[in-house]
A = this chain, B = another copy of it.
Amino acid sequence: MTTPHATLHVELGTRRYPILIGHHILSDQLIALLQQSLPHHGRNILVMSNPTVAAHYMEPVLQALQKADKDYRVQHVLIPDGESYKNLATYSDVMDVLVKHRFDRDCVIIALGGGVVGDLAGFVAATWQRGVQCVQIPTTLLAQVDSSVGGKTAVNHPGGKNLIGAFHQPAAVLIDTDVLTTLPQRELGAGIAEVIKYGVMADAAFFQWLQKNIQRLLDKDAEALAYAIHTSCAIKARVVAADETEQGQRALLNLGHTFGHAIEAATQYTSWLHGEAVATGMVMAARLSCLRGFIGTTYRDAIIELIAQAQLPIAPPAAMDIDTWLDLMSRDKKVKDGTMRFILPTGPGAAGIFSNVTQAELTAVITESVTRS
């Protein structure tokens, strides 16, 4: 269903960039990219990663860089694992490295890792000397289908996730499906949650494919994963090209995220993975949508069942009371002038943005989600 090497493009005019999906990307394709495709760049290259990913993949990447051009001056920094390190302090440390090694405007930042590394490296690239080139090499399924594509970069603030950041499109995204072989099963599941999101919000046929093939994804079937990644990235690339800075339809990609972010915040970003919180958030969005009559119980239950089959959580923490929910959801970046906005499925492969949700409706959905799940 997919060729070994497929290339999508995010169509942003002069800032158009490729998403390469395939095997052995880390070596061959990285070299080809640097030698041929990347807009003019200098010799200074910084590879950002974390200890877990670096143990597997730093060496091949450094070797590829050496092979591409022996004159490259390559530095690398490792960011400790975990969302709590995606902050201004770590950001400042990385800037110190760039200053120390006199990186100039023609340098390249390579993000080799999951969402934390990608978001942080992207924000570094966005703001070093007012913006330098960034190559994303995502090593988790979630980063491959979501965070590495589209130019959202950020660090967290103690007051909220991703509050500080910038839109800065990468120069290229290299997705090597081989790296998923070393991905822990729980992180794979978190990525599948975002894959399901694309089916719910934008592609009814893909949703049906997922209903039939969810076990193959959980079993890390290479062909199924490649197809799911390609389909997900194609949807994301289309949405980003149409609305780069989220003035409108790009917000649909946040299906499940208003509820999900509240769960993550309530549990201090420790016990729930982002994808797990989004999975439960999608269940709650489906329930809210059904409550409002946008979708019927059959489709609602199909969404919930697919998420459950993916072994993802479908019930939020029972300990969260309504005041906690309202407080945390009101901090969401989608809030406009104090009004919360929800992305709700409106039918197979379709979703909309709604800002007139009442507290009574939210209370009903939260209660239903805790007790019925």
Interface residues of A (CB under 8 A from B): 42-44, 88, 92, 95-96, 98-100, 102, 104-106, 123, 126-131, 152-154, 157-160, 163-167, 245-246, 330-331, 333, 335-338
Contacts and interface: CB of A to CB of B under 8 A. Distances in A.
Q: Which of A98, A100, A127, A165 has most B Cβ within 10 Å?
A: A127
A163 B104 contact: no
Nearest to A158: B99
A99 B130 contact: no
A165 B125 CA distance: 10
A42 B106 contact: no
Contact of A130 (B157, B166, B330): B166
Contacts of A123: 127
A337 B106 contact: yes
Q: Which of A42, A159, A166, A167 has most B Cβ within 10 Å?
A: A166
Nearest to A41: B337
Contact of A92 (B88, B95, B128, B338): B88
Contact of A333 (B95, B129, B159, B245): B129
Contacts of A160: 99
A333 B104 CA distance: 6
Query: 6 closest pairs, A vs B, by CB?
Result: A99-B159, A42-B337, A130-B165, A104-B335, A129-B333, A127-B166
B167 A131 contact: yes
A15 to B, nearest CB: 10
Contacts of A43: 337
Q: Which of A105, A158, A164 has most B Cβ within 10 Å?
A: A164
Nearest to A89: B92
A262 to B, nearest CB: 15
22 contacts: A42-B337, A43-B337, A44-B337, A88-B88, A88-B92, A95-B163, A98-B163, A99-B159, A102-B331, A104-B333, A104-B335, A104-B337, A104-B338, A105-B335, A105-B336, A127-B165, A128-B163, A130-B153, A130-B154, A130-B166, A130-B167, A131-B166
Contacts of A157: 95-96, 99
User: How many copies are assembled?
Assistant: 2
| SS of A interface (majority) | mixed
Q: Which of A96, A130, A158 has most B Cβ within 10 Å?
A: A130
Nearest to A104: B335
A104 B160 CA distance: 12
Contacts of A106: 336-337
A43 B336 CA distance: 10
A174 B213 CA distance: 59
A143 B335 CA distance: 33
Q: Which of A102, A129, A159 has most B Cβ within 10 Å?
A: A129
A340 B105 CA distance: 12
Given A98-B163, A105-B336, 9 more contacts: A44-B337, A88-B95, A99-B157, A104-B337, A123-B127, A127-B165, A128-B164, A129-B333, A130-B245
Contacts of A92: 88
Contacts of A152: 130
A93 B81 CA distance: 26
Contacts of A95: 88, 157, 163-164
A158 B160 CA distance: 28
B129 A165 contact: yes
A131 to B, nearest CB: 6
